[in-house]
Structure 1
Amino acid sequence: MAEFYLIVSILSSVAIMLVFGLFDRYKIDTFQAVVVNYLTCIVCGVVLDGGIPTYSMEATAWLPYALTLGVLFIGLFVLIGITAQRQGAAIASVSMKLGLIFPILLAYFLYNEDFTIQKWIGIVLCLAAIIFVSIPSKDSKAEGDSLSWNWSMLFPLIIFLGSGICDSTVQFLEQRYFSEGDIEILTIALFGTAYVIGGSVLLLQVMFGRRSFDSKSLLAGIVLGLPNYASIYFFMMALSHDKFDNASSFVFVINNIGIVVMTTLMGILILRQNPNKYGWVGLGLAVSAVLLLFL
């Protein structure tokens, strides 16, 4: 089942990208859809948990971490959007994916995971693959202007650090506080915090006339929320599975590289977008990395 959880998590992440790719075509209000997406995630968590959880405060020592993650979730989304607009989606994607370095190092220094030379080489190839696959072709254009460039140069660094903190905190919470059967309560707290923050901002914007509710965007948020919840739920199920004990860095690496490879294949098969030469190099490196990590 461990492999199944990991595969479903990867496929769900790819589905998220597909849904986002349709937003521009159907004129969806992205922020409004994202807020509804968090509400959908909460409902999914409540359904899977069999009701609203009633944990005592003594049993939720992890709550401050979960609340911090919820804030980071929506904050990172805003920064990723700004970075993608001003410097290109490739830079935003690389900044986010390279955050996997943090949980890998955390596993090595704090959890005493066994790291062979072969594993280190696989991790290096994985990072190289992510960079190569994310390099845009010459005809792609990053939006923005030179005036905003200087300020926006800080955004990829913030995304890199924020993504790394999120991944590492999830890993820490899973290993210290949760077992395979206690994932729903954590996901409810994470998405609940993000929803409260995003919903408050959205409500204020509607009250002051800066935004209006759109039924199409609300529906899009529900469609987005289903794979979004599945991606983190099954990812955490894989992390907490006995088969991956003392191998959490392996789960993070395979999850990230799997998303990159599947997204590329999705572009070929569904969107009819063939990778450039860098993309093919990245795919080759990705396959090599997976083989080294599995053997």
Structure 2
Amino acid sequence: MIFLALSVLFSTGLFVIFKYFGIYKVDVLKAIFVNYIVAFAMGFLLAERQIPISEIYLEPWFSGALVLGALFVSIFFVMAMTAQKNGVSVTSIAGKMSVVVPVFFGIILYNESVTFLKIVGIVIALIAVYLSSVKEEKSEKKGTLLFPVLLFIGSGTIDTLLKYIQTNHVAEQDVSIFSGSLFGIAAFFAFIILIIKTIKKRETFGLKNIIAGIILGVPNYFSIIFLIKALQNDAFESSTLFTINNVAIVIVSTLVGLLLFKEKFSLKNKIGVALAILGIVLVTIA
């Protein structure tokens, strides 16, 4: 339970940092690239078992890390496009409701339990995610459904693959180096995109973006590490853990937005937080 709680706290920290990115006009792509480099370095420095970088491709989880690294960068851009085309509320809802994907595959692939109480808890949790995330925007954007659907599928695929690779290929002592490797791969893809953007429009990297990336990299690394460690705990089924993790992040992020950034807290949001707590309790009991 402690690893799950730490994963939620560090994931919420990412939300806070991204908020400040907007305030201080940080170039998100550049900061994301630096963040991946920092997380990659931490993964190898804190690894329990040392593996030469030149031999990483021989590890049974390398192909999975390759796919996840590419997905990390791809979903980042899908999130950006969804926010631009459909609005922030739709982006938040599509990203968090993607929890149904790993929950579904957890039940199918790992024969996890399906009880009435668990189903009710998950349904309540999904409703809570929607109510907690929706904002009363003055000019609600009505864009194409393509990007929200891609975000929903992509975010759910990342969680599902993470669970599958962790279960079948990642030894307990390799969690850090596996995480570092997928961040390194993500950094490689982000670097290619940066090169393409630089060719189109030359501009300095900026010390501000480097500092922002370093600040982001530390909690990003630990959010993944603690989530994987939580998945290794047999006390929780993955369908239960992903539901609790996503909904808890929504609750804590909503409260942080209210207290730290003075965001407007509508009646829907209040009902959403209350239902989220109920959903977590039901899923945990089940």
**One-letter amino acid of the counterpart of residue 21, structure 1:** K
SS in structure 2 of the partner of residue 182 of structure 1? helix
**How much is the aligned-residue C-alpha RMSD, in angstroms?**
1.9
Specify the alignment match of 1:168 in structure 2: 160
Show the 5 A alignment for 1:250-289. 250-289=240-279
Unaligned runs of 5+ in 2: none
**One-letter amino acid of the counterpart of residue 253, structure 2:** T
User: Relative to 1, partners in 2 of residues 1:122 and 1:278: Cα closer, same or farther, differing over 3 Å?
Assistant: same
Specify the alignment match of 2:27 in structure 1: 29
User: Relative to 1, partners in 2 of residues 1:71 and 1:47: Cα closer, same or farther, differing over 3 Å?
Assistant: same
Give, in whole Å, the separation in 2 of the partners of 1:199 and 1:237: 29
Q: CA offsets, 1:250-273, max 9 Å, x none?
A: 110111001000011102221122
Give, in whole Å, the separation in 1 of the partners of 2:168 and 2:209: 38
Specify the alignment match of 1:188 in structure 2: 180
Give, in whole Å, the separation in 1 of the partners of 2:50 and 2:174: 13
User: Relative to 1, partners in 2 of residues 1:198 and 1:58: Cα closer, same or farther, differing over 3 Å?
Assistant: closer
Specify the alignment match of 1:233 in structure 2: 225
Q: Which moved more, 1:235-244 or 1:255-264?
A: 235-244
Return the offset for 1:166: 0.8
Give, in whole Å, the separation in 1 of the partners of 2:221 and 2:108: 30
Return the offset for 1:90: 1.1
Residue pair 1:84, 1:91 contacting (<8 A) in 2 also? yes
Return the offset for 1:64: 1.5
TM-score between the two structures when normalised by the length of structure 1 = 0.90
The percentage of counterpart residues that share the same residue type is 32
User: Relative to 1, partners in 2 of residues 1:250 and 1:63: Cα closer, same or farther, differing over 3 Å?
Assistant: same
Return the offset for 1:142: 4.6
User: Relative to 1, partners in 2 of residues 1:82 and 1:47: Cα closer, same or farther, differing over 3 Å?
Assistant: same
Show the 5 A alignment for 1:133-152. 133-139=132-138, 141-142=139-140, 149=143, 152=144
Return the offset for 1:51: 7.6
Q: Does 1:201 align with 2:193?
A: yes
Unaligned runs of 5+ in 1: none
Residue pair 1:126, 1:285 contacting (<8 A) in 2 also? yes
Return the offset for 1:81: 0.7
Residue pair 1:239, 1:248 contacting (<8 A) in 2 also? yes
Give, in whole Å, the separation in 2 of the partners of 1:159 and 1:204: 23
Return the offset for 1:60: 2.0
TM-score between the two structures when normalised by the length of structure 2 = 0.93
- How many residues are treated as equivalent by the alignment? 284
Specify the alignment match of 1:221 in structure 2: 213
Residue pair 1:85, 1:142 contacting (<8 A) in 2 also? no
Return the offset for 1:65: 1.7
Q: CA offsets, 1:161-195, max 9 Å, x none?
A: 11111111001011111243321122122111110
Residue pair 2:47, 2:173 contacting (<8 A) in 1 also? no
Show the 5 A alignment for 1:67-78. 67-78=66-77
Specify the alignment match of 1:132 in structure 2: 131
**One-letter amino acid of the counterpart of residue 87, structure 2:** G
Give, in whole Å, the separation in 2 of the partners of 1:69 and 1:178: 14
Return the offset for 1:122: 0.4
Return the offset for 1:66: 1.4
Give, in whole Å, the separation in 1 of the partners of 2:239 and 2:135: 28
